[in-house]
Amino acid sequence: MPPSRTSPPPPPPSKPLGLTPSQLASFATDGYLLLPSFLSPTTTAALLAETQHLLATFPLATHPLTRFSTGETSAHVSDSYFLTSGDKVRFFFEEDAFDPATGALAKPQALAVNKIGHYLHALSPPFRAATLTPAAAAVARDLGFRDPRVLQSMVICKQPEIGGRVPPHQDSTFLYTDPPSAVGFWIALEDATRENGCLSFARGSHRRAGVQSRFVRRGDGQGTEFVGVEGGRFPEGMEVEEGAGEEVEEEYTLGEVRAGTLVLIHGNLLHKSERNCSAKGRMIYTFHVIEGENRYDERNWLQPPEGGFTRLVQNGV
C-alpha cells in the first residue's frame, strides 16, 4: 500500500553490517581500508564532547607530567604511569607543550595533551558504547577473527601547532601476538587533512614487511626496550610477496578523511603521520583488536587487566 500524503516517509534502508567482498579484497591488497560515515554525526559529536570533558577536568596538580614521544627513545616508556595505564584512563603530554627553558607547561592543559589511554573502551561509557558494537564485531568477523579482543583504546589529539610527527611504524610491533594478528580501528572525530597531520600509508607493505621487532618490558624491570621477533612475522595463512623482508624504499599515500570515517589498519602495515603545524586540531579515537586465540605473552609492555582483554563480541552479538 503506498503511503498517504500525510504519512511520514519510510525510514531509509539500514546499512548492512560488515564488509563487502570488494572491501575485503581492497584491505587484503592495500593493508588499509577507509569506511566513511562508520560513526553517525551524533555518535562522533558525543565522543568529541567526552574527549573535551576529559581534557578539561583531569587533575593537573597531581599529574606526573609524563610526555609522549612518537620516536623510539622516549623517556615515557620507562615511566610507571605509562606502564600501568592498561586498565586506566591516563593523559600523556605533547613534548612541545613544555617551555624548553623552564620545563613548565606552556599550553593550557586541554591543548597540551598528546593522547588519552588506554582503557577508554571499558571506563568511559560513551567510548564503550561506540566500541563494543555489532558493527565493529561484524567487521572483525569478516576480517577472519574468531575471538576478537580489544586490548587498548586511545584518543590521539594531534594538537594545533605542536602535534608531533609519528614516524613509519607497524602496530604489531607494539601489540605482538604469535603469529601477528593486530588490526587498528582508527576513527576520525574531526576531519583529518594534509594540513593537520592525517595518516599516510605504504600501500601493500603488510605483504612484504614482516614484524622485525617488538616493544617489551625489560627483564630487569627497568622500563622497556625493542627486541627482535623470535616467533611469526606475518599473520597465519597470509600470502606474502616474493622477496618479503628485504629493505624497500616505500612510497606513502595520504589518507585524508572526514569526521566519522573508520580506517582499518593491518598490524603489519607501515603507516605514519606528519606534524600538525596548522591552527586546527586532529582528534581521533583508535582501538586495537587482536586474535584471542593467539599467544600474547608476559613480555609485551601492555599486560591484560584482571579478567583478560575485552571481548569485542558481547553477548553473542
> Per-residue DSSP letters for 84-133?
T-TTSEEEEEEGGGB-TTT--B-S-GGGTEEEEEEBHHHH-HHHHHHHS-
Phi (first) and psi of residue 201, to 5 degrees: -125, 140
Contact 256, 193 (CB under 8 A): yes
Contact 148, 312 (CB under 8 A): yes
Q: CA 103, 108, 111: angle at the middle one, nearest 5? A: 105
Q: CA separation (Å) from 313 to 108, 120, 134?
A: 39, 17, 7
Rounded-to-integer distance, Cα 216 and Cα 10, Å? 54
Q: Which residue has the cell 607543550?
A: 97
Q: What averages of pLDDT result for each successive group of 10 residues across the chain (317 residues)?
A: 49 75 98 98 98 95 72 55 95 92 91 96 98 98 98 97 95 98 98 98 97 94 92 95 81 98 98 97 98 97 96 77
Q: Which residue has the cell 620545563?
A: 103
CA-wise closest residue to 276 among 114, 111, 159, 188: 159
Supply the pLDDT for residue 316: 57
In the three-class reduction of DSSP (H, G, I as helix; E, B as strand; rest coil), residue 188 is classed as: strand
C-alpha cell belonging to residue 298: 608476559
Rounded-to-integer distance, Cα 153 and Cα 117, Å? 6
Supply the pLDDT for residue 242: 82
Supply the pLDDT for residue 64: 85
Contact 212, 72 (CB under 8 A): no
CA-wise closest residue to 199 among 98, 144, 114, 273: 273
Q: CA separation (Å) from 161 to 29, 48, 81, 107, 187?
A: 35, 19, 26, 11, 21
Q: How far apart are the first and last CA of the chain?
A: 34
Q: CA 263, 268, 271: angle at the middle one, nearest 5? A: 55
